[in-house]
Structure 1
Amino acid sequence: MKKVIIFLFLAIFAIGSIIFVPIVYDYFTARSYGSEPVELSEEDTRGKATFAGGCFWCMEAPFEYIEGVHDVVSGYIGGEEVNPAYEDVASGETGHVEAVQVIYDPSMVTYEDLLEVFWRQIDPTDDEGQFVDRGAQYSSGIFYYDDEQKQLAEESKRELDQSGRFDAPIVTRVIEAETFYRAEDYHQNYYKENPVRYNFYRSNSGRDEFLDEYWEEDEREYTVSEPDDDDIAFWRTYEKEDEETLRNQLSKIQYEVTQEDDTEPAYRNQYWDHYEDGIYVDILSGEPLFSSTHQYDSDTGWPSFTQPIVEETIVEEDDWGLLGRRTEIRSAYGDSHLGHVFNDGPEPTGLRYCMNSAALNFIAKDDMESAGYEEFLYLFED
C-alpha cells in the first residue's frame, strides 16, 4: 500500500510539473523577453491581416495550415503602451488585445478567405472576452490596414449577422489597425512547441464545444478558394522525381545530402564564405529558403543564416542521434534535407540555420526578377 501511495504521489507530481511549472516560469520571466513592433516594408508585396480571437495560442494553427500563408505571429495590438509585456497585457492594464498577424500571398489566398477562417474560430457574440478567458484583452476583433480590408470585413460581419446562425448579435469589432507588437518568443507556435500544455488548455477552454455547436464539421474545415494556375509560383507545384531520376539529376554529394540526410565537409563547400546579394533556393524545387541579408559568418564552415525568408518553405523535424535531439531543417516542397537549426546564433533571432551548400542553389539579386523571384526583391531595399 505504501508503494502505491508513493507511486501515485510521484505521478501527480510529474503531471503537475509538465503542465504548471512551465506556465509559472513563463509568467515570471515574461518581461525578460520583451516585444517588438512587426512591420512590412512598403516594397513587400505580401498581404497582412490581423485578427483577435481570445487566446492567441488557439488562433495560430488555423491560419498556418493554409497554403499561401507565409507566417502567423502572435502578438498584441490596440493599446497605447510601447513594447508591452505579456503579464501587463493579460492583466488588462495596457489596453491591448491578444491577436495574430497573418502574412500571406494575395495571389494564393484572399482576404475574404482569411475572414471566413477567422469567424470559424471564435464566439462573435461575446463582448466580454472569449470562452474561458475573460476581459477586454481577450475580446474579438478584425484590425484593417486599408479601406478595402475595412469594407470586406464589415460586409463579412454583416452577412454573418444576417445569416441567423447565432442566437445573439455579432459584436466583433472592425477597427483600424495600430502598431502590432510581436509577443514573447515562448508564445510563438505554442501549439507546436508545447503540445501537452496547449491541448490541456484548449480542451478545458470551451472553445471547441462552442464551435461544434454552431458549425457543422465540414463548415469548420473551411477550404480556401483555389487560385488561378497562372498566379501560382512554380515552386509550389513541384513534384518530386523518382530515385533514379534524382541520382541522374544531382551530383553524388547533392544526392547524399538532400536524399540521405548526409552532411558535406566544413570549409569545403560552395557557399560557406559566399556573401553576394541574392537568395538561396532549394536545389530541386527552387522554393525560396534563405537570403544573403540574413547570412553571417558563423565560423563553422557552412553557410549560416539567422532566419528563413518565409516560414512556409521550412519544415522542422526532430533528429535524434548519439548527441541527443537536434532540429533538422527540410524544404517543404522539395522535401530535401537542408541542415539543422541551433539556438546559438546572433541577434535578432538568436538562431543559427546551419545549411549544406549542396542542398542550395544561389540566385543573384540581379537575376531574381527574370528567375521568377521578383516578390522577394523587397529584402534588398533600404
Structure 2
Amino acid sequence: MWALVLLGALLLPGHGLGHGPHTPSDYDEMGQDTGGGGTLEAPAQPRSFPGQLCLNQSHGLALSNRSLELLLGWVPTRLVPAIYGLVLVVGLPANGLALWVLATRVPRLPSTMLLMNLAAADLLLALALPPRLAYHLRGQRWPFGEAACRLATATLYGHMYGSLLLLAAVSLDRYLALVHPLRARALRGQRLATGLCIAAWLAAAALVSPLLLQRQTYRLQASERVLCHDALPQDAQLAYWRPAFTCLALLGCCLPLAAMLLCYGATLRALAAAGQRYGHALRLTALVLASAVAFFAPSNALLLLHYSDPRPGAWGDLYGAYVPSLAVSALNSCVDPFVYYYVSAEFRDKVREGLLRRPPRSAAASKASGDGAGRGSGGATRSSSLL
C-alpha cells in the first residue's frame, strides 16, 4: 500500500518530486559536456540513481534530468528526514526504556532474551539515523567522508534487517509455546534463544558486509554536492550492487517474512481453535504479523523490481519511491515496543514502578497474573513477552 501511494505521487503529471513543473531545459546544464563528456542520454534505472562517470572527475557523476528532479525534490529533502526524525523522537526513548525494563525488572526467560535483542536492534537503528538525517536535511549533501558513508549505509540496513530476523525468531518462539506447548518444554530454553539471537546478528552482518567494500560517495557534476549512496556508476550497479541487494532482499526480508507467515499462521489457527478465551492474543498476533508485512514488504518489493529487469526505462522512476519506502520501513522500530512490550499490563506496571518508584503490586496479584500468563502461553512465557 505504501509503495502504491508513493509511486502514484511520483508519476502524477505536475506532481513530481522536484520543486515544481519545469521543462527538460531546466537541467540542461547537467547534461552538457564540462570538459570531456558529451550530452548525457537517460541511462537505465536499476537501483540507486544511475550515473555516468565524468571524464574530467575521477569521482564525479552526471545524472539524467529526471533523476535530478527526483533526487533534489521535496520527498527526499523534506518527507524522508521527517520520517527519520519521527523514528528518533519515538523509537529512541520507547526502545531505550523497554530495553532497561527487560534487562533489569523482568525474569530472564528465553522470550525475554529475544525481546531484549529486538529492543537493542531497534534502539541501534535509531542511533544510526542522525548522519543520514543530516544528509537529507542538507539537501543531499554528505559532509562526513567516504568511510562514514559506507558505515552509515551498512548500519542502516544491518539494524533494519537484523530487527526483521529477530522478529522471525520471536515468531518461532511464540509458535513453539502456543502450538506445541508440551514439546516447547524440551525445546525452548536459554540455549535456543541465545542461538537464535547470535544467528540473527551474524546473518545481518554478513548480508550488509558488501556495503562496506565499494565506494559510495560521488560528487554531482557541475556542483559541490557530494552524494552518499543515492547515485552510483551504472556499471557498478549492474556488476556489484545488483547481486548484493538481491541477496539482501531475498535472505534478509523475504525469508524472515515467510517464516513469520508460517509460524504466526499456525499460531493464529491454534488461537482461533481455542475460542474466545484467547481473543486478545489472537488480535495481537494478527497485528504483529500485519505490521511486519506492511512496513517491510513494500520497500523490498521495489528493491527486487529494480533488479528484475535492468533494461533502460524498464521500471521508470522506482528509486524515487524506494527512498521514502525505506524510511517507512524504519518506522517499524517505533511500532515494535508498543506491540511487543507496552501492550502488556504487567510490563506497564514495571515501567511505572521503575520510573515513579511505586511499590510493586501484592504478591498474590503478581502470582495470579503470572499464573494466568503462563497458562496462556504453554507454561513457559509470562505476560512480559508478546502474548
The question of a shared fold, defined as TM-score above 0.5 by the shorter chain, is answered with: no
Q: With CA pairs under 8 Å and 6+ residues apart, which has the higher RCO, 1 or 2?
A: 2
Q: TM-score, normalization: structure 1?
A: 0.29
Larger helix proportion of the pair? 2
